[in-house]
C-alpha cells in the first residue's frame, strides 16, 4: 500500500501532488464543519449556521417572479423552445453579442451610469475565480508577484497562485487606521519584494473590499493609479461587490471613473474583474467578466476563455434578464435596500452585547472585532476562540488570519445568505455566548446590571431564542481563559 502511494505521487504533476489549492485553511474548515452539521430550523435546530459564505439571497424572489413572467428567456421552456437549437449549438468564445451588450450595460448601471463599458472589451470566464486566474496568466509569469492589501479574500491564494505559479505579496494594512490602503504601505511592500528579488507585476485591489465591506475613496484610487503608473505595473480591480454598496453618500467610485477623468494613466495597465455572483446573487451561473483596457489582454484572455466559457444557455437567459431595464433598476435598488436593512439589524444586535464591527457600507458581511475576547493577542488565541464559535456557539464565521489580517481577533460574518429568522437565531446564539463570557469574568453585582439592560434591549422573541440556543460548556477554552 505504501509502495503504491509513493509510486502514485511520483506519477502525478507537482500541482496534483501538492496542496496549492489551500483547502486545508480554517476558511474552508469552517465550511466543512457546517456541512457535517448544517443548521435546519426543524430537522437540525442546533446545527451550525453558515455565516462563512458571502452569498446574496435577499432578493431571489424578485428573480423568481421575473422568470415566471418571462418564460421565453429560457430555451428549455415551451415558450422559448424556438431558440433552443440556435443557442444550444452556439460555442464561439466571443460570447453572444446580446450577452456582452447586456453585461456592459449592467456594469454601467451598477456604477450609477456615470461611465459606459464597451461590449467588445467584455471577456467571459467561469466566475470571478476564472477571471482572476486568466488575468494572472495574461500579466505574469511563474515567480512574478502581485501586491495585495490586507486583509484579502482567501480564495485569491488559490485563484491567482495555484495553477499559474504567480505569488501574492501582502501590503500590510491594519486596524490602526481602519485598514486603509496607504501609499507608504504599498511602497514598503514593493521595496521589500524588490530586496527579495521578487518581480512585482501589479497591484490587486478588491473594491468594495471582502472582508471589510468598505470601499476606496477617490483620492486613494488616484494615488494607486499614480503608484502603478510610476512603477509601470498593472492594476487589477476586483469590483464584484459594486452593487452591494448601500449608501448614496459616499457613493461607490469605480476605477473606470477614475481613469475616465483627466488623469495621467497608461490605460493598458488597467483591468477590471467582475461577476454576477454577488451583485445578482448567481454564483452558480459562473458568470465572470474580465474587462481590460489593454487590447492584447482582451485578445489573449478571450482565447483563454475557451477553458471556462459561460454556457450559451446561461448567456441567453442573462442577456434577456439584464436587458430588462425596469427589472434591473428595481433589482439594484431593492437589493441595496435589503442589504442595508440586514446590515443595520445585525450590527445593532451585535452592539447590544458589546461587539463592535468596522464601519462599513457595502458587502454581504461584517468585519467583527472580538480582539478583546482573546486570551492573548496571537493567532493561536484567535484560533482557540474560532473553535469555540464553531463548535459551541455553532456559527461558521471566518477568522481574520485566513484573510491575512495582521491583527488577531477579527472575524468575517456573512449575513445575506439566510432568512430573517435564521439571522435572529444567529444573533441569539452570539448573545448567549457573550452573556456566558461576561458571567465568567464580571463580578456578580455588575453582571446583574449588565444582564438586565441586555434583557431590556432585546425583544421577547429574541430572548426566547436566546434561552433556547445552545450554550457554551463550562469546559470552553474561552470560559477557562477568562476565569
Ligand atoms: C473578492 C472576491 N473575488 C472573487 C470571488 C469569486 O467569485 P465567483 O463566485 O464569481 O468566482 C469572491 C467570492 O467570494 C470574492 O469575494
pLDDT greater than 80 at residue 398? yes
Report yes or no on 174 lying in a domain: yes
Helix, strand or coil, per DSSP, at residue 1: coil
Q: Give the sign of the dihedral formed by CA 343, CA 345, CA 351, CA 355.
A: negative
447 is known as an active-site residue = no
- Cα 152 to ligand 1 centre (Å): 11
Claim to verify: residue 190 and residue 302 sit in the same structural domain: yes
Residue 95 CB less than 6 A away from ligand 1:
no
Query: Atom 7, ligand 1: which residue's CA is nearest?
Result: 128
Query: Which residue in the list 75, 200, 240, 339 is annotated as catalytic?
Result: 240
Give the Å distance between the CA of 483 and the centre of ligand 1: 41
Q: Which candidate in 153, 274, 291, 293 is catalytic? A: 153
Q: According to the model, what pLDDT value does residue 442 have?
A: 54
The residue among 412, 409, 421 whose CA lies nearest residue 378 is 409
**Is residue 255 one of the residues assigned to a domain?**
yes
User: Is 278 part of the annotated catalytic residue set?
Assistant: yes
User: What is the average pLDDT value for the chain, to the nearest integer?
Assistant: 89
* Same domain, residue pair 156 and 255: yes
pLDDT surpassing 90 at residue 455? no
Does ligand 1 lie within 6 Å of residue 129's CB atom? Answer: yes
283 lines ligand 1 (CB under 6 A): yes
Distance 216 CA to ligand 1 centre (A): 18
Question: Ligand 1, residues 22, 132, 151, 210: which to mutate, most atoms within 8 A of Cβ?
Answer: 210
Confidence band, pLDDT 50/70/90 cuts, at residue 468: very low
DSSP structure class, residue 198:
P
Task: Indicate if 407 and 461 belong to the same structural domain.
Answer: yes
pLDDT of residue 441: 62
Write the CA distances from 162 to 134, 142, 210, 438, integer angstroms. Answer: 12, 10, 20, 44
Neighbouring-strand partners of residue 410: 369
> Is the predicted pLDDT of residue 472 greater than 50, yes or no?
no
* Ligand 1 pocket residue status of 434, Cβ below 6 Å: no
Do 467 and 416 belong together in one domain? Answer: yes
Q: Are residues 28 and 78 in the same domain?
A: no
Strand intervals (E) in 303-424: 356-357, 365-369, 395-396, 398-399, 410-414
* Ligand 1 midpoint to CA 125 (Å): 12
CA 287 to ligand 1: nearest atom: 10
Whether 342 is in a domain gets the answer no
By C-alpha distance, which of 143, 135, 183, 182 is closest to 160? Answer: 135
User: What cell was used for 89?
Assistant: 449549438
Over residues 320-374, the pLDDT tens digits come to 999 999 999 999 999 999 999 999 999 999 999 999 999 999 999 999 999 999 9
**Pairing state between β 145-149 and 200-206:** parallel
Give me the domain span that covers residue 389. 2-55+364-482
Does residue 159 have an active-site annotation? no
Ligand 1 pocket member 155 (CB < 6 A): yes
**153 given a catalytic annotation:** yes
In a domain, 15, yes or no: yes
Which of 276, 310, 328 is at the close of a domain? 328
Q: Are residues 223 and 323 in the same domain?
A: yes
Residues 133, 231 share a domain: yes
**Cβ neighbour number for residue 21 with a 10 Å cutoff:** 14
Same domain? For 194 and 285 the reply is yes
Instruction: For residue range 275-313, list pLDDT tens digits in order.
Output: 999 999 999 999 999 999 999 999 999 999 999 999 999
Q: Are 404 and 150 in contact (CB under 8 A)?
A: yes
Residue 460 has pLDDT above 70, yes or no: no
Q: Is the pLDDT of residue 476 over 80?
A: no
- What is the per-residue pLDDT for 23? 72
Q: Where are the alpha helices (DSSP H) in 48-177?
A: 60-69, 84-88, 97-110, 127-139, 155-159
Please report, in angstroms and rounded to a whole number, the separation of the first and last CA atoms in the chain.
Answer: 49
pLDDT value at residue 443? 55
Are 378 and 251 found together in one domain?
A: no
Judge if the beta carbon of residue 352 lies within 6 A of ligand 1: no
Residue 129 lies in a domain: yes
Give helix 295-304 / helix 127-139 axis angle, nearest 10°.
Answer: 120
- pLDDT at position 478, please? 37
Neighbouring residues of 351: CB distance < 8 A, sequence distance ≥ 6: none
As a whole number, mean pLDDT of residues 63-84 equals: 91
Whether residue 66 is contained in a domain is answered as no
Q: What is the CATH number of the domain that holds 111?
A: 3.40.640.10
Count of C-beta atoms within a 10 Å radius of residue 191? 11
- Kindly state whether residues 205 and 321 are assigned to the same domain: yes
Tell me the pTM. 0.90
The model's confidence at residue 30, banded by pLDDT at 50, 70 and 90, is confident
Domain count, the chain: 2
Taking 60 as the threshold, does the pLDDT of residue 1 lie above it? no
Q: Give the position, in ligand 1's atom list, of the atom nearest the Cα of 54.
A: 14
Element (DSSP H or E) covering residue 274: strand 270-275
Compute, in angstroms, the gap from residue 15 CA to the centroid of ligand 1: 22
- 217 plus 305 within the same structural domain: yes
The values of phi and psi at residue 290, to 5°, are -110, 125
pLDDT in tens, 211-258: 999 999 999 999 999 999 999 999 999 999 999 999 988 899 999 999
DSSP letter at 347 equals: H
Amino acid at each position: 500500500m505504501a509502495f503504491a502511494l509513493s509510486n502514485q505521487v511520483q506519477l502525478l504533476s507537482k500541482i496534483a501532488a501538492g496542496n496549492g489549492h489551500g483547502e486545508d485553511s480554517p476558511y474552508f474548515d469552517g465550511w466543512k464543519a457546517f456541512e457535517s452539521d448544517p443548521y435546519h430550523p426543524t430537522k437540525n435546530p442546533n446545527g451550525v449556521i453558515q455565516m462563512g459564505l458571502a452569498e446574496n439571497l435577499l432578493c431571489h424572489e424578485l428573480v423568481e417572479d421575473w422568470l415566471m413572467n418571462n418564460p421565453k428567456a429560457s430555451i428549455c421552456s415551451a415558450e422559448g423552445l424556438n431558440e433552443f437549437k440556435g443557442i444550444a449549438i452556439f460555442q464561439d468564445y466571443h460570447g453572444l453579442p446580446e450577452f456582452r451588450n447586456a453585461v456592459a450595460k449592467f456594469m454601467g448601471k451598477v456604477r450609477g451610469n456615470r461611465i459606459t463599458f464597451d461590449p467588445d472589451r467584455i471577456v467571459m470566464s467561469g466566475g470571478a475565480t476564472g477571471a482572476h486566474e486568466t488575468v494572472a496568466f495574461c500579466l505574469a509569469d511563474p515567480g512574478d508577484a502581485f501586491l495585495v492589501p490586507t486583509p484579502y479574500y482567501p480564495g485569491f491564494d488559490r485563484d491567482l497562485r495555484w495553477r499559474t505559479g504567480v505569488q501574492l505579496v501582502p501590503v500590510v494594512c491594519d486596524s490602526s487606521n481602519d485598514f486603509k490602503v496607504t501609499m507608504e504601505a504599498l511602497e514598503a511592500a514593493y521595496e521589500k519584494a524588490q530586496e527579495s528579488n521578487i518581480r512585482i507585476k501589479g497591484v490587486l485591489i478588491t473594491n468594495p473590499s471582502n472582508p471589510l465591506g468598505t470601499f476606496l475613496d477617490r483620492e486613494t484610487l488616484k494615488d494607486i493609479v499614480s503608484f502603478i503608473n510610476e512603477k509601470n505595473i498593472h492594476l487589477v480591480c476586483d469590483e464584484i461587490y459594486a452593487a452591494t454598496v448601500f449608501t448614496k453618500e459616499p457613493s461607490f467610485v469605480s476605477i473606470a471613473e477614475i481613469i475616465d477623468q483627466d488623469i495621467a494613466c497608461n490605460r493598458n495597465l488597467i483591468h477590471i474583474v467582475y461577476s454576477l455572483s454577488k451583485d445578482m446573487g448567481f454564483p452558480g451561473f459562473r458568470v465572470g467578466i474580465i474587462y481590460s483596457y489593454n487590447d492584447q489582454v482582451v485578445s489573449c484572455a478571450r482565447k483563454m476563455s475557451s477553458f471556462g466559457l459561460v454556457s450559451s444557455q446561461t448567456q441567453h437567459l442573462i442577456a434577456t434578464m439584464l436587458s430588462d431595464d425596469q427589472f434591473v433598476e428595481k433589482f439594484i435598488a431593492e437589493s441595496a435596500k435589503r442589504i442595508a436593512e440586514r446590515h443595520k439589524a445585525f450590527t445593532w444586535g451585535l452592539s447590544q452585547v458589546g461587539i463592535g464591527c468596522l464601519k462599513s457600507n457595502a458587502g454581504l458581511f461584517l468585519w467583527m472585532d472580538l480582539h478583546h475576547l482573546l486570551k492573548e493577542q496571537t493567532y493561536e488565541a484567535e484560533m482557540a476562540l474560532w473553535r469555540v464559535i464553531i463548535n459551541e456557539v455553532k456559527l461558521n464565521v471566518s477568522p481574520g488570519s485566513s484573510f491575512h489580517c495582521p491583527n488577531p481577533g477579527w472575524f468575517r460574518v456573512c449575513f445575506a445568505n439566510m432568512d430573517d429568522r435564521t439571522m435572529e437565531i444567529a444573533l441569539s446564539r452570539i448573545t448567549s455566548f457573550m452573556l456566558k463570557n461576561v458571567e465568567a469574568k464580571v463580578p456578580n453585582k455588575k453582571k446583574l446590571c449588565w444582564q438586565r439592560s441586555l434583557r431590556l434591549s432585546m425583544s421577547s422573541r429574541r430572548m426566547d431564542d436566546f434561552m433556547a440556543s445552545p450554550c457554551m460548556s463550562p469546559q470552553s477554552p474561552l470560559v477557562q481563559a477568562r476565569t
